[in-house]
Structure 1
Amino acid sequence: MISLNYRDSRPIYEQIKDGLRKLIVTGGLGPDEKLPSVRALAAQLAINPNTIQRAYNELEGEGYIYSVPGKGSFASANAGGDDGRRQELERQLRELLAELRYLGVTAEELSALVKEAYGT
């Protein structure tokens, strides 16, 4: 499900958050699918449950998951529906595009990457 890289400069909770976000966005976790409990995932990854809770809280704030008291956390059907998150991703994409242009990547190469990502 999620693997941690202890040599990664990012904090553990961010690695967990990114791993879960990727699972949700790619369909590895379907809409309304239950996520592992905080304790279960903490035990599986052998880390502090507070670390998992922090990742879950941030994902919920970004709209990727929702919590039902007494039931657990679930993947959101409209994952990432938050306009703030979309704007942040668009900003990051612009930065990446500027760097790729600087490195000599052509518009045609970028178009091919976009088509590949969208499966068209």
Structure 2
Amino acid sequence: MPAAGKPIFAIDESSDLPLWVQLRNRLAHLIRSGYFKAGEQLPSLRTLSAEGKINYNTVTKAYRDLEVSGLIVSVRGRGMYVEKNVAVDDSPEAAIDAMAEQCIGEYRALGLSFRDIRRRLDAVVTGMADAAAEAADEKRGYADGKH
């Protein structure tokens, strides 16, 4: 389950997709990427509704659709659980995508636009690439006896 205070879902106000579809797609991705493990209990309807500031009926509709699609199962009186036989994509790309989506979701929860997030991430990646290139050049300089 997500750490306390860490959003698993951020509403995209600019999306043409209905909110319940956005939620369903996000939860399906988190399940398929292994963020939520097979047999793991999902946040309760009320918890997800309250934390995400999403109407209870919207969360219910998303969960119901995930159940119909075979990704989750409802256990009466206990909650919703990830189906035990769900196929998980445990490739490095899926893990990176899940981490990136988590990070972007947290930025969105802070109120940043996708454009602002892209600019910030581009700046971070560029800074890291430049630092790595400088370190490699410096290392080569030591290897060549230039220092």
* Global fold match (TM > 0.5): yes
Q: Unpaired runs of 5+ in structure 2? A: 1-7, 95-147
Asked if 1:21 is matched to 2:28, the reply is yes
Q: Which of 71, 78, 83 matches 1:71?
A: 78
TM-score, normalised relative to structure 1: 0.65
Shift of 1:39: 0.7
Instruction: State the structure with more CA Rg.
Output: 2
Shift of 1:79: 2.3
Contact 1:63 1:78 in 2 (8 A): no
Percent of matched pairs sharing the same residue: 33
| Deviation per residue, 1:66-93 (Å, 9 max, x gap) | 000000000112226xxxxxxxxxxxxx
Instruction: Extract structure 1 runs of 4+ deviating beyond 6 A.
Output: none
Q: Unpaired runs of 5+ in structure 1? A: 81-114
Map of 1:33 onto structure 2: 40
Map of 2:12 onto structure 1: 5
How many matched pairs?
Answer: 84
Whole-angstrom CA distance in 2 between matches of 1:72 and 1:116: 30
Shift of 1:117: 5.5
**Greater length-normalized contact order (CA 8 Å, ≥ 6 residues apart):** 2
Structure 2 CA distance for partners of 1:31 and 1:116, relative to 1, 3 Å: closer
Whole-angstrom CA distance in 1 between matches of 2:84 and 2:92: 24
CA RMSD, 1 decimal: 1.8
TM-score, normalised relative to structure 2: 0.54
Whole-angstrom CA distance in 2 between matches of 1:20 and 1:9: 18
Shift of 1:32: 0.6
